[in-house]
Amino acid sequence: MAKAGVVAEERAPMIAVLEECDIDPAVQLSTSAGWNQTASDWRMLMQLSPDGCFGIHSDGNLVATATLMRYDRRLGWIGMVLTHADYRRRGFARALLEHVVEHADALRIESLKLDATDQGQPLYESLGFRMEQVVERWWRRGDSEAPRPQDRGQLAGPSAGMDLEAFGVDRSRLFQGLSEQSAVFASSDGFAFLRPGVRASYAGPCVARNAEAARGFLEACILEAGPSGCFWDLLPRNGAAAELARELGFLRQRRLVRMVRGAPCAGREDWIYGIAGFELG
């Protein structure tokens, strides 16, 4: 115990790698923030990046998280930056982000990206991130009738090569993880994934050679989603994607800022009609 008149030095938060037992608390944390991730989403992140998912525990509870999804050494994606409302303003988010950035630098990852809210942007800028472009979330109410069965293709052939050209790095490991929980609609002109969410189904990633092909994939996603409705995150820099969202009855809900630290990393964004998620890129 500190002596009278002496202020005890505050201990630095203890950062630990997330484990299987942290999945349910992590879901509670993200759900309380109004996010859409399921236990399957958290489990996939921890399986694909077992040494890149971090948390802070306090009072016996998981109270803050941050994750790093690696796409080889070219690109790392930071996501799931969360702090429980009762534990904010204690420096937990900064401590986790500094830890993630140091981890990425130790791995010699050339480019780091993330999708930031307006509230988080100043913190990321203080760590060397700069604005790249805007990201938007769109939402569509579900249809009342039951969804029609859809053919679920396999992500193979030209689609994998298309994604490499569109996104700029190899995401094949991510797609293997996503395919275990998603409906996949694919053709020679591209593909789209649809997976369950806590609040609504999630359409993405979607890569297509043109708006006509993207329309077919997104219409299939809408039908498959059924009454739960559908989230769709897109890059408005691709004007055809935003126009298609309006035509299909989606409503714009929120705006984030995509930020980058390190070397630029991009592909053919005119082919990107839907991202994989704020935590995945």
As a whole number, mean pLDDT of residues 197-212 equals 97
232-246 pLDDT per residue, tens: 999 999 999 999 999
As a whole number, mean pLDDT of residues 21-47 equals 98
What lies within 8 Å, CB to CB, of 105 at 6+ separation is none
pLDDT reading at 49 higher than 70: yes
Identify the residue whose tokens are 């201990």: 11
**Which of these, 260, 255, 256, lies nearest to 125 by C-alpha position?**
260
| pLDDT > 70: percent of the chain | 91
Is residue 35 within 8 Å of 198, Cβ to Cβ? yes
| Dist. CA 92–CA 95, nearest whole Å | 5
As a whole number, mean pLDDT of residues 103-121 equals 97
pLDDT reading at 20 higher than 60: yes
pLDDT reading at 142 higher than 80: yes
Please tell me the chain's helix, strand, coil percentages from 3-state DSSP, rounded to the nearest 5.
35, 30, 35
Amino acid at 262: G
Amino acid at 105: D
As a whole number, mean pLDDT of residues 20-28 equals 98
pLDDT at 224: 94
pLDDT at 143: 80
pLDDT reading at 146 higher than 60: no
pLDDT at 101: 98
pLDDT at 160: 78
pLDDT at 145: 60
Identify the residue whose tokens are 């039908």: 223
pLDDT reading at 43 higher than 70: yes
- Mean pLDDT over all residues of the chain? 91
Instruction: Tell me the HSE value of 80 on the side-chain side, using a 13 A CA sphere.
Output: 33
pLDDT reading at 56 higher than 90: yes
pLDDT reading at 3 higher than 50: no
**22 falls in which pLDDT band (50, 70, 90)?**
very high
166-195 pLDDT per residue, tens: 999 999 999 999 999 999 999 999 999 999
Helices of type H across 19-110: 23-32, 39-48, 92-106
